[in-house]
Amino acid sequence: MLIAHKIALHPNNKQATYFAKASGVARFAYNWALAEWKNQFRKKGVHDRFTLTNDQFEVEGSRVRIPCLGWVRMREPLRFTGKLVSATVSRRADTWLISFTVDTQDLSHLPKAKNHGVVGVDLGVSTLAKLSTGESIKSPKAYAKKFKKLQRLSRDLSRKVKGSNNRFKAKKKLAKLHAKIGNIRSDSLHKLTTDLTTNFHTIVTEDLNVKGMMQNRRLSRAIADLGFYEFRRQLDYKAQMRGGLVHVADRWFPSSKLCSVCGYKLDELPLSVRHWTCPVCHSEHDRDLNAAINLRNLAVSSTVSACGEEGSGFDCKVEVKPASVKQEVNINIYI
């Protein structure tokens, strides 16, 4: 039997102050742990996954052996060779997936990169990306195209009785549609980043303030549908694997306002203006193409003046030389 006995204390001022501070630390630790717990708590049917260590599973061709279950078929064999570290089984809508973590240095499965120099990439809403070569990559706009169907399925789900089989079926349909939208977006980004890192050694893009852009109520849905963060994530690791460089221009670099021919800078350029003429050299500019060219030019000039040629590679660590005093724009280099 556990019995509690509460007894009053008679602390002096120093002791009372210590008690108050200790209570504050305990309160902070409790609130921090509670917030972390809420962040990491897994909901049934939403975050269904479990992880196996390397001594609990075995891979053989197009199948994997799961403890207490046996051999399970996979859609394709493992493409990487090396030491298997772990495997995570997860569910997305009605599809079960397995993700292997492999410690490898063998990148022979990757297509050989073609060194076509430097390319500037201007991300946008009307088109996903505009390259300094003049090529435009359209966004699949998966969410926008499926929005009406999403609304209909969401209404159907809200009208079903909780706990009923019909609600379970409606929830499954909605989850499958969300997964399809995510797959379409991910596929387009993978194709774009693979094409860029395969064809160009140096890629220049902008450091976009996505959080700030999401405050625009008219564009927030379209911006969220593009997946700018995922683009940067894929671009970084694919360039590293292929021995390329990714330059990220400073957030305040006026890529759209600068004339890519003479360097004249406009004071204002509203987002609605897609074409403009330079008042100095009278060159006509497409807003996105001009921005992409300026990004490319920025990387070329800063690579010569500040960054140098240090080499590249999967294991290479590049030490960037200090920027010269005259250089006004900072470039962050990720390899």
- Phi-psi group of 127: left, alpha or beta (phi > 0 → left; psi -120 to 50 → alpha; rest → beta): beta
Please say whether the beta carbons of 74 and 62 come within 8 A. Answer: yes
Say which residue the tokens 């694919």 belong to. Answer: 238
Between CA 57 and CA 222 the distance in angstroms is: 42
Please say whether the beta carbons of 331 and 249 come within 8 A. Answer: yes
Could you count the other beta carbons within 10 Å of the beta carbon of residue 272? 5
Between CA 81 and CA 108 the distance in angstroms is: 10
Question: Coil, helix or strand for 37?
Answer: helix
Please say whether the beta carbons of 200 and 292 come within 8 A. Answer: no
Give the single-character DSSP code of 132. T
**What are the start-end ranges of the E strands in the chain?**
49-53, 58-60, 63-66, 70-73, 83-92, 95-103, 118-123, 129-131, 136-137, 202-206, 245-249, 275-277, 284-286, 331-334
Catalytic positions are: 122, 206, 288
Say which residue the tokens 């596929």 belong to. Answer: 187
For residue 244, give the nearest of 198, 285, 188 by alpha carbon. Answer: 198
Question: Coil, helix or strand for 65?
Answer: strand
Between CA 238 and CA 189 the distance in angstroms is: 12
Q: Please, what is the end-to-end C-alpha distance for the chain in angstroms?
A: 62
> 132 — phi, psi (to 5°)?
-65, -15
